[in-house]
Homo-oligomer: A and B are copies of this chain.
Amino acid sequence: TQKLLSGRASRPKPFRVTNVDRSVKKGIMADALEDLMNKVGDSMSLDCVSALVLDEDGTGVDTEEFFQTLPENAVLMVLEKGQKWRPHPNSPPRDQL
């Protein structure tokens, strides 16, 4: 119960993680960025996860602090070495709201 003080204390949240060509997407629970990186590697059978970025605009999620601000079910893209985020081919302009 000391976990509450450790900063990793936040409850696991659901995330949706896609690969670079968006052919696979998985629902993954994680309570910290490192936790998510590890689980993504296992779940998607990747040797070396190099980065996680937001699927919507390619924003790199590098820090635990920023990670903790993401909402439940945020969609992330996992990148391996040499891979690069690209926008959705048919994404609607987001300004249509």
> A: which residues have CB within 8 A of B?
12, 14, 16, 24-29, 43, 53-54, 57-63, 65-67, 69, 72, 75, 91-97
Contacts and interface: CB of A to CB of B under 8 A. Distances in A.
Q: Within the oligomer, what is the number of copies of this chain?
A: 2
Nearest to A22: B58
B61 A27 contact: yes
Binding site secondary structure of chain A: mixed
A69 B66 contact: no
Nearest to A14: B69
A35 B28 CA distance: 19
Contacts of A95: 92, 94, 96-97
B69 A29 contact: yes
